[in-house]
Chain A
């Protein structure tokens, strides 16, 4: 990265901004000097307002498939209010209709209860001398308590009680009622059956009206959505340009832009900018601190950059740990899960994820590496979905009768040699943590000099060597080396280094989680298989079907559990145990003006 400044007369400001936007190489740094910062172009405010309107329209219109259309900004500008009114009217109507329908539903529910009573709405309203109660009533209690006369008519799920006003029936009803319903007021007539069927007809009328409204909205969407989307894109760009001067320094007649460009595009940049301004601007290389960072990795390592950035963007002058992630993360994941079957199923899951979530596609791509590693380790261990497929006690050979499977050599069978997995996990830890120290040494060497590198990171390596010597050769050899190691550590990192010593042990022990997850991976698969086995061998069709169902469910479930375990534990070993040894991060990501997502 090279820091540059572009200085020129204001009349070229527009041209320069346009050119910078289309070049997409300059990461503009906000001007921080004695001059005043620039004002956004006058149009910015109006354009922003229009953009807000357009976005709100887009959110109100239903989704339809549209193609991008030619830009007709003026047409949109003139019609924005009209379209917006139209949409509001239509959505308002739709809401009203929906409210009506829910009202009708309540009505219908009420009158349905008293169908079969034969009473009309007029009867239910009562009269000068008669009162009507609608609800669920315990008839025995009512008869016992009421001395006045009353009539009870039973409907479908509620009864209607008609009694004389001012009699004691009303009091008795208080005790006898289990539920009571209020008669809805409104313009009704006829028997409950008639009212219910009326409501039904009205409801379907409203439904039809809603459909018409929806069709009208859709029509609007077909007409306008494409145009709006084109306009939105165009306006976003225009506003980005119009607001760019906020980051520039200006005087009455000149402007200055500061920013970073990749060193190898400097020549083209200079040439292109000079061309549009007829050589009237002055481009100069500047001294600057804290340049933005762009990953520079081969195609294979690229997907892992997202994992690095998830933690923190690397600093300008340190090793990009993406390559380490690419080398060891799939190995960890694969070793932990180590099952050819789950390798394939997780590959399918990640592939689906990559297609479905475009934004996280890089992450899923890197996880696919991990799936491949899982598949390969599965072959090496002779495991697929917890069944032994290769090796001298191959279950696959027993089932199919093909003895070739028994001939295929395997590394070792995990379930029987967990002790070895344990040792290997610890060794992996030792190697991985030390790899971290070595990278740290290199980073220190680049930043400072070899002395720093040796004191700060090399001292840890010496400390480990001392511990091993002490163990193998005895105190006479180990102790002096240990003293030297401690002294260099003290010199390199001070008292913090000494305090940190126990964490070295806990970091290496932390890799035992590889062993832990391996055990869980082997047993989880075995549990599913042993649950399904009695069903599969039961001989009945139902048993067979249930067994197969259980196998499918269990292994799908396991696939997701294992993805989660393998991913979290694998990535955490890198982030916490390894990156802690060398990675600082905290860089600023290179976001050139004009490129997508730069604002």
Chain B
């Protein structure tokens, strides 16, 4: 599929910005989570889940970029 012009830019922005958002959120949660783990390592499961939650944002970004490029 050939994607050009503003469509390509839009797709790039959709995934790029949402990836940044995910990264920012994960950085904050991750550092707090490691702090919590230092206190009590039985929290590992919950910390992992909390850290993984923001990944949904970038998945939405992926979906949006696939939609604008006409993949789905």
Q: How far is the CA of A258 from the CA of B15 in the complex (A)?
A: 58
A512 CB-CB contact with B under 8 Å = yes
Partner of B71, one of A419, A506, A509: A419
Which of B2-10, B31-39, B58-66 is near enough to bind chain A? B58-66
Q: Across the A-B interface, how many residue pairs have beta carbons closer than 8 Å? A: 43
Complex interface bits, A493-530 against B, C-beta within 8 A gives 1, otherwise 0: 00000000000001001101100100000000000000
Contact of A516 with B48 in the complex, beta carbons under 8 Å: no
Chain B: CB-nearest residue to A513: B59
Contact of A312 with B59 in the complex, beta carbons under 8 Å: no
A576 CB-CB contact with B under 8 Å = yes
A411 CB-CB contact with B under 8 Å = no
Contact of B45 with A512 in the complex, beta carbons under 8 Å: no
Q: How far is the CA of A585 from the CA of B66 in the complex (A)?
A: 37
Q: How far is the CA of A585 from the CA of B42 in the complex (A)?
A: 12
Number of interface residues of B (CB under 8 A): 16
Partner of B56, one of A311, A312, A419, A510: A510
Contact of B72 with A422 in the complex, beta carbons under 8 Å: yes
Partner of B59, one of A419, A422, A510: A510
- Say how far A174's CB is from chain B's closest CB, in angstroms: 52
Interface bracket on A: 10 to 19
Complex interface bits, A420-457 against B, C-beta within 8 A gives 1, otherwise 0: 00100000000000000000000000000000000000
B20 CB-CB contact with A under 8 Å = no
Which residues of A sit under 8 angstroms from B60, Cβ to Cβ? 506, 509
B53 CB-CB contact with A under 8 Å = yes
Which residues of B sit under 8 angstroms from A572, Cβ to Cβ? 48-49, 52, 55
- Say how far B3's CB is from chain A's closest CB, in angstroms: 14
- Say how far A572's CB is from chain B's closest CB, in angstroms: 5
Using known A-B contacts A419-B71, A422-B72, determine if residue A575 contacts B59 with beta carbons closer than 8 Å: no
A310 CB-CB contact with B under 8 Å = yes
B44 CB-CB contact with A under 8 Å = yes
Contact of B45 with A312 in the complex, beta carbons under 8 Å: yes
Contact of B45 with A311 in the complex, beta carbons under 8 Å: yes
Using known A-B contacts A419-B71, A422-B71, A422-B72, determine if residue A510 contacts B45 with beta carbons closer than 8 Å: no
Contact of A509 with B49 in the complex, beta carbons under 8 Å: no
Contact residues of A between 542 and 599, Cβ < 8 Å to B: 572, 575-576, 585
Partner of B45, one of A422, A513, A585: A585
Q: How far is the CA of A510 from the CA of B53 in the complex (A)?
A: 10
Q: How far is the CA of A422 from the CA of B71 in the complex (A)?
A: 10
Partner of B49, one of A510, A516, A575: A575
Which residues of B sit under 8 angstroms from A512, Cβ to Cβ? 59, 62-63
Q: How far is the CA of A87 from the CA of B56 in the complex (A)?
A: 58
Contact of A509 with B45 in the complex, beta carbons under 8 Å: no
The 6 closest A-B pairs by CB, nearest first: A311-B45, A572-B52, A312-B45, A506-B56, A576-B49, A576-B52
What are 23 A-B residue pairs whose CB atoms fall within 8 Å in the complex?
Answer: A310-B45, A310-B48, A311-B45, A419-B71, A419-B72, A506-B56, A506-B59, A509-B59, A509-B60, A509-B63, A510-B56, A510-B59, A512-B62, A513-B55, A513-B59, A516-B62, A572-B52, A572-B55, A575-B48, A575-B49, A575-B52, A576-B49, A576-B52
> Residues of B with Cβ closer than 8 Å to A?
44-46, 48-49, 52-53, 55-56, 59-60, 62-63, 66, 71-72
- Taking A506-B59, A575-B52, A576-B53 as given, write out 16 further A-B residue pairs in contact, using a Cβ cutoff of 8 Å, ordered by the A residue number: A310-B45, A311-B45, A311-B49, A312-B46, A419-B71, A422-B66, A506-B56, A509-B56, A509-B60, A510-B56, A512-B62, A516-B62, A572-B48, A572-B49, A572-B52, A585-B45
